[in-house]
Structure 1
Amino acid sequence: MTFSPSREGTSVETATADLLADGVGDGLPVVPPTVERWERMLDGVADPDAVVGLVPPLFGELTARAVAGCCVLAGCRPGVVPLVLTAAVAALEPEFNLLGVQTTTGTAAVGMIVAGPVVGTLGLSDATGMLGPGPHANGVVGRSLALTLATVGGVRVGETSMATTSQPARYGFCVAAAGEVPTVTVLAISGTAEVVPRDDLAAPDDVLAPLAEALGRSAGEQTLVIPPEIARRVDVARELDARVVVAGGPGVKMLHLPGWMGGSRGVTRTLG
Structure 2
Amino acid sequence: MSPDQARALFRAGLRAPTAGWCTGWAQANLIAVPREQAYDLLLFAQRNPKPCPVLDVTEPGATSAPLFSGDLRTDLPGYIVYERGEPVAEVADVTGYWRDDLVCFLIGCSFTFEGALRDAGVPVRHVEQGVNVPMYRTNRTCRRAGDFGGPLVVSMRPVPAAQVADAVRITSRYPSVHGAPVHVGDPVELGITDLGRPDFGDPVEVRVDEIPVFWACGVTPQAAVMASRPKLAIGHAPGHMAITDARDTRYIVP
The TM-score normalised by the length of structure 1 is: 0.27
Identify the structure with the greater strand proportion. Answer: 2
Larger radius of gyration: 1
Bigger RCO (CA 8 Å, 6+ sep): 2
Identify the structure with the greater helix proportion. Answer: 1
The TM-score normalised by the length of structure 2 is: 0.28
